[in-house]
């Protein structure tokens, strides 16, 4: 699931666009940014989301999501959409008598995401949850307060939040936590299953340089714990020949291979080592390609026994995540495939919103200041929500109870949670016995 790095830093031009957009909103001159004839929003008195109420009935609260519904990442974008839809279905479409509607928009690029966000905002949407890829969440983090728009981000960017905010919240874990967690779990696996303490553990780290930011915290954590990184191999995205790297792996004594790869390079690498009949003792992947639906298409002879770290994902135990079984069963029945971690992220994020809305009188849902205050007050221990993570915000509105990662293992085309014990749904086989 770890594809939530929505993009690199914005170009100077796009930063200027974001600043102008924010300034226009703050000064009430948004019609000058949105084009001739665009609606001028009033952040202090937002239009009712859904029109005027008739006979005292409140209009539905609209929650907006701009996600990637077209393009190469559409599978993740649709998983977010489906997860949000399923959450709304499970809550019955309303809370305390007021209906809730999801409004989806396609944001395959950063420019499209900004444009669609602007359109939804002009249409009166004031409550948002980020979509797959979280392409523009850094920008939204700087704009939310001026716009008085409540925004729940699921982005994993380490530098997403740069200061306090009233309206912007990060509900998930960040990439540094993920990377440090992967190395710590490698240390635990080394001790538990290989009988090696950290100082005796040897790790090979393999990654495309596009994902250097994922590798760096792993390297720092390894050094801090005395783990020997005997191979630290980065390669460009354009690499097609893995023989030199595989030869180096074959000639190096190591215990655990940690690959951080996308679909094109991961596919080539795994097919090549299978062709050579070479199998590392333990493969503990850093997510990305390794917990996506097309991974199992490589065939059981390649995927069986491969471990992958994810954020919270649908393979975890019902005891740790009450409601996750119903989510999985209903999702597969409705959409025809098992949910990915991405779907659970959106499902869990929507449940956070529902808990927020329960704290506020439905008549006041259009007052985003009251919603933001209710969001800030949420306090849930781990194991109380369907995605396992709890909720407790730090001073920057980053969730401090979203740090627990899960190790899953591929077995005959399915992924099962195997580590840590309290999330486990199947006993691990480490090393994998052919």
Tell me the three state secondary structure of residue 152: strand
- Contact assessment for residue 264 and residue 270, using Cβ atoms and an 8 Å cutoff: no
Does residue 260 have a pLDDT over 60?
yes
For residue 228, the Cα-to-chain-centroid distance in whole angstroms is 30
Q: To 5 degrees, how large is the angle CA 360–CA 404–CA 136?
A: 60
- Residue spans per domain, the chain: 61-174+319-404, 176-316+406-423
Q: How many residues does the chain have?
A: 434
pLDDT in tens, 273-325: 999 999 999 999 987 789 877 788 999 999 999 999 988 889 999 999 999 99
pTM score? 0.83
Rounded CA separation 128/350 (Å): 10
pLDDT in tens, 144-187: 999 999 999 998 888 888 789 999 999 988 889 889 999 999 99
Does residue 242 have a pLDDT over 50?
yes
Rounded CA separation 176/221 (Å): 10
CATH level 2 (architecture), domain 176-316+406-423 = 3-Layer(aba) Sandwich (3.40)
pLDDT bin (cut points 50, 70, 90) of residue 434 is low
pLDDT in tens, 94-118: 999 999 999 999 999 999 999 999 9
pLDDT bin (cut points 50, 70, 90) of residue 16 is very low
Does residue 270 have a pLDDT over 80?
yes
150 token code pair: 């409540």
The residue with tokens 């952040």 is: 43
Rounded CA separation 294/281 (Å): 23
Angle, helices 243-250 vs 263-275, to 10°: value is 60
Please report the pLDDT score of residue 25 as a whole number: 40
Does residue 39 have a pLDDT over 60?
no
Q: To 5 degrees, how large is the angle CA 140–CA 118–CA 402?
A: 30
Burial of 41 (0-12, 13-18, 19+ CB in 10 A): buried
- Whether cis (ω within 30° of 0) applies to the bond prior to 325 is no
Rounded CA separation 16/119 (Å): 19
Q: What is the DSSP letter of 57?
A: P
Q: Is the CATH code 3.30.300.30 the one for domain 61-174+319-404?
A: no
Q: Hey, do 61-174+319-404 and 176-316+406-423 end up sharing a CATH topology, with the first three levels equal? A: yes
Does residue 42 have a pLDDT over 60?
no
| Sheet containing 202-208: order of strands | 228-235, 202-208, 256-260, 282-285, 307-310, 406-411, 414-419
Rounded CA separation 54/93 (Å): 19
Angle, helices 341-358 vs 324-335, to 10°: value is 120
pLDDT in tens, 397-422: 999 999 888 999 999 998 999 988 99
Rounded CA separation 169/376 (Å): 9
């Amino acid at each position: 699931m770890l594809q939530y790095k929505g993009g690199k830093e914005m170009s100077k031009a796009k930063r200027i666009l974001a600043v102008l957009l924010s300034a226009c909103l703050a000064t009430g001159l948004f019609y000058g940014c949105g084009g001739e004839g665009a609606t001028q929003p009033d952040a202090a008195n937002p239009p009712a989301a859904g029109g005027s109420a008739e006979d005292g009935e409140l209009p539905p609260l609209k929650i907006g999501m701009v996600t990637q519904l077209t393009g190469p990442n559409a599978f993740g974008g649709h998983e977010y959409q489906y997860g949000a839809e399923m959450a709304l279905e499970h809550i019955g479409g309303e809370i305390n008598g007021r209906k809730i509607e999801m409004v989806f928009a396609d944001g395959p690029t950063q420019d499209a995401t900004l444009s669609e966000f602007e359109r939804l905002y002009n249409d009166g949407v004031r409550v948002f949850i980020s979509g797959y890829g979280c392409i523009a969440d850094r920008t939204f983090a700087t704009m939310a307060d001026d716009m008085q728009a409540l925004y729940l981000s699921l982005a994993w960017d380490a530098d997403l939040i740069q200061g306090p905010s009233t309206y912007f919240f990060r509900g998930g874990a960040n990439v540094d936590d993920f990377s440090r967690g992967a190395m710590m779990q490698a240390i635990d696996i080394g001790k538990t299953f290989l009988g090696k303490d950290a100082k005796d553990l040897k790790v090979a780290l393999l990654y495309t340089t596009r994902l250097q930011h994922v590798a760096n915290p792993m390297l720092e954590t390894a050094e801090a714990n005395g783990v020997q990184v005997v191979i630290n191999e980065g390669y460009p995205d354009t690499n097609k020949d893995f023989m030199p790297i595989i030869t180096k792996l074959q000639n190096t004594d190591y215990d655990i291979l940690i690959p951080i790869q996308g679909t094109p390079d991961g596919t080539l690498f795994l097919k090549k080592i299978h062709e050579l009949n070479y199998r590392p003792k333990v493969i503990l992947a850093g997510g990305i390609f390794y917990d996506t639906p097309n991974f199992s298409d490589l065939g059981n002879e390649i995927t069986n026994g491969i471990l992958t770290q994810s954020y919270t994902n649908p393979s975890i135990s019902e005891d740790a995540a009450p409601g996750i079984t119903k989510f999985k069963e209903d999702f597969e029945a409705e959409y025809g495939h098992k949910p990915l971690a991405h779907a659970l992220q959106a499902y869990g994020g929507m449940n956070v919103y529902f808990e927020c809305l329960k704290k506020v009188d439905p008549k006041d849902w259009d007052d985003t200041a009251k919603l933001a205050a209710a969001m800030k007050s949420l306090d849930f221990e781990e194991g109380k929500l369907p995605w396992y993570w709890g909720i407790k915000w730090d001073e920057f509105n980053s969730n401090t109870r979203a740090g627990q990662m899960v190790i899953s293992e591929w077995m005959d085309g399915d992924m099962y949670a195997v580590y840590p014990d309290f999330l486990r749904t199947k006993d691990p086989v480490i090393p994998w016995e052919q």
